[in-house]
Structure 1
Amino acid sequence: MKFAHIAALIGGLLAIAPASAETLIRIGYPGTGIDDRPYAYGDYVAVANVQQLVEAEFKDVPDVKVTWTFFRGAGPALNESLAAGQLDFAAGLGDLPSIVGRSRGLQTKYLASAGSHDALYLAVPPDSQLKTVEDLRGHKVAQFRGTNLQIATDRVLEKHGLTEKDIRFVSLDSNAATAALVSGNVEASFGGSEYLDLAKRGAVKIIYSTKNDDPTLGRNSGLLVTAEFEKAHPEFTAKVVRAFVKAARFGSDEANRQAVFELWSKAGLPVESFEADFKDEPLAHRLSPVVDDFIIARYKDQAERAKAYGLIKKDVDIDSWFETKYLKQALLDLELKNYWSTFDAKGQKVTEGQVEHTKAASN
């Protein structure tokens, strides 16, 4: 009777217990909008977030919840969260912080490009006498240290005969750097499209852009998953990648240019900033998820530079980091295998994607 009673009790507990525990899919993004708004901009990750495309992939999967976290501290703060086991995916993580994380033992897989050829701008006060990158020697310049902005800036300096030692850098996050520049507390600042609206309003002036320089300059970012999550949930990993590829497809279509800019404006920047940032440039040039020779070369180059600059202490194995099977399957399933152009290691186009044949919207 005792065993029968215990069996009945266990059976009752199983009957009232949930069929399966909830699975969290925790996505981190290395940045925020203006005034810390929980929105991204300038990439397809922002499209996926606003349109809830990842959530839509799991609409028929019970007990799955998707959460998003936006980090004001950018890549370094996101890396800390990864190290603490608080995230499963890093979406839009810049090349330098992801390389630093890998060098320090973070177990991740690089699934897809989340952005490439991202333009870099050099802004100065409107009355500044600085006119070129070379003029920065000895001046006080804002830079978000530890992010992909740092190594992208270092490459620009190198192309123009300078090094970090020639500049009086002040480490400030994007919002603080903008405020410091406008108030005159720094003499220049490297950054992204956030400076274009200020330039239009006469608060700053842009004296340099990577858009008119070497095609290997600029910033790159990726979509990463923790090795633990990918091993435990390969089918969920595939769904997440599929959702982001859908976002990249929408974001790369010139027919959606205005809609994409309006979506990005939720981060607090005006549509006009994105119109200026992407002037005479197809959306697909930056919003491609494809991992081609250009992307691989950029990460290898950044890893070498990070070690040379003392940002990491040991070599980083880049080749074994990339896990593109989910991306390839998503491109095949969604009939997008040849949708985006591919580029060689020097940034020259190798194959022309189908997206190139779509009619570009007027700029």
Structure 2
Amino acid sequence: MDRVKKLVCILSSVFLASAVLAGCGSSSTKGSSTAKEKLKNVNISYVKSPLNVPSIVEKKENLFQKEFDKDGIKVTFPEITEGGKMTEAMAAGSLDFANAIGATSVILAASNGVPIRIIGMYSRAPKAFTIMSKDQNITKISDLKGKKVAGPKGTILHQLLLGALSKENMKINDVQFINMGIPQAVSALMAGDVDVALVAGASVPQAEAKGAHVITTGEGILDATIVIAARKDFLDKHKDIAKRYMKVHDESLKFMKDNPDETYRLASEETNISIDQVKQMYGWYDFNPKITDADMKDLEATQDFLKQNDMLKKTIDIKSIIYNLNK
């Protein structure tokens, strides 16, 4: 009888140990199923114009691939050139980083509930944004009264037009504004279908070569702030990836500083403008990625511009769309 009791105790201990082990195994399986899913893809918008040299260097020198290939993360570069299309892609979850997007587009999207956040500055280049005409009788902003002006609505160029008009005590109703993209606006200008075009970047020297002239640039009117943005849900899940993204961006800036001739060549080939024109335009840009107090003021001014021109119904706290990667 004692032997039977002893055997029962042994078997009970075995079953108990098995149950404990099974429980641990079950807990481990459950933990792995809820663990953060491994990132497989990163989608980064590619916009080469007006003269987005860091993006050109990053793509041509495979900087992002070199950083993320070691983790088996595939990098894709959808060429989405319109800010509104970028924010739509972010809202749909198909774009992770907007590498060079106008502050106007980010503020409009955030106001409409798109979970988008600014993680750094891309550029400031007021001289790269212009108002142009082919008509030799149109040489100053006051000459625009009653004229057909073509350009992209809700953008830095649109903001430039309104700011330039305001300095002359004019309003948008004083001109015939036609909403169209930069290439289309330049084509319409050359064809004589419009009197004035809002033109930026590489399209400026190209239009000048065809007989157009600059009436004004953005200098003294606005800072032409372009930012780097990302989806908030992506940032919350993959903050480490965003930090590495900005590290790569810094590497592109270092490449530009250390290899100016190669940088000019890459930009020239990618934008189809001469190296001399690239050198001329390159000096217009401030690519410092740090968000400064002046940048914050410019973002506030951009929101005011959107509100005053009935393009923004709901204002936001600008600080709320800045995502600090160091916290």
TM-score, shorter chain, exceeding 0.5: yes
CA distance, structure 2, for counterparts of residue 289 and residue 32 of structure 1: 17
More helix, by proportion: 2
What is the identity, as a one-letter code, of the residue corresponding to 2:106?
S
Q: Unmatched 5+ residue regions in structure 2?
A: 1-21, 23-28, 30-36
Answer with 1 or 2: which has the greater Rg: 2
1:307/1:313 contact within 8 Å kept: yes
1:258-273 equivalences in 2 (<5 Å): 258-265=261-268, 266-273=270-277
8 Å CA contact 2:121–2:288 kept in 1: the answer is yes
Q: How many residues align?
A: 291
Match of 1:106 in 2: 114
Aligned equivalents of 2:260, 2:165: Cα separation in 1? 32
- CA-based RMSD: 2.4
Partner of 1:276: 280
**CA–CA distance in 2 between the matches of 1:324 and 1:287?**
19
What runs of 5+ residues in structure 1 fail to find an aligned partner?
Answer: 1-6, 8-13, 15-19, 34-39, 330-363
Partner of 1:183: 191
2:237 equivalent to 1:232: yes
**Residues 264/160 of structure 1: CA separation in 2 closer, same or farther (3 Å cut):** farther
CA contact (8 A) 1:43 1:115 kept: no
CA gap of 1:296–1:43, structure 2 versus 1, over 3 A, is farther
Distance 1:260 1:143 in 2: 29
Greater displacement, 144-153 / 167-176: 144-153
Aligned residue in 1 for 2:44: 27
Q: 1:227 to 1:199 in 2, by over 3 A?
A: closer
Partner residue of 1:42?
52
Q: Which residue of 2 aligns with 1:56?
A: 66
Q: Is the 8 A contact 1:45 1:114 kept in 2?
A: no
Offset at residue 201 of structure 1 (A)? 2.4
1:163-312 matches, within 5 Å, as 163-211=171-219, 214=220, 217-251=222-256, 253=257, 256-265=259-268, 266-278=270-282, 281=283, 285-312=285-312
What's the offset of the Cα at 1:68? 0.8
CA distance in 1 between partners of 2:206 and 2:231 (Å): 38
Judge conservation of contact 1:54–1:239 (CA < 8 Å) in 2: no
Q: TM-score, normalised by structure 2?
A: 0.81
How has the CA–CA distance of structure 1 residues 270 and 160 changed in structure 2, closer, same or farther, with 3 Å as cutoff?
farther
CA–CA distance in structure 2, aligned partners of residues 246 and 324 of structure 1:
20
Tell me how far apart the structure 1 counterparts of residues 110 and 304 of structure 2 sit (CA, whole Å). 13
Alignment of 1:67 onto 2:76: yes
Q: 1:97 and 2:105 equivalent?
A: yes
Instruction: Report the identity percentage.
Output: 20
- 2: distance between equivalents of 1:52 and 1:80? 26
Q: Where do 1:71-86 residues align within 5 Å?
A: 71-72=80-81, 74-86=82-94
Quote the Cα distance in structure 1 between the aligned partners of 2:307 and 2:209: 40
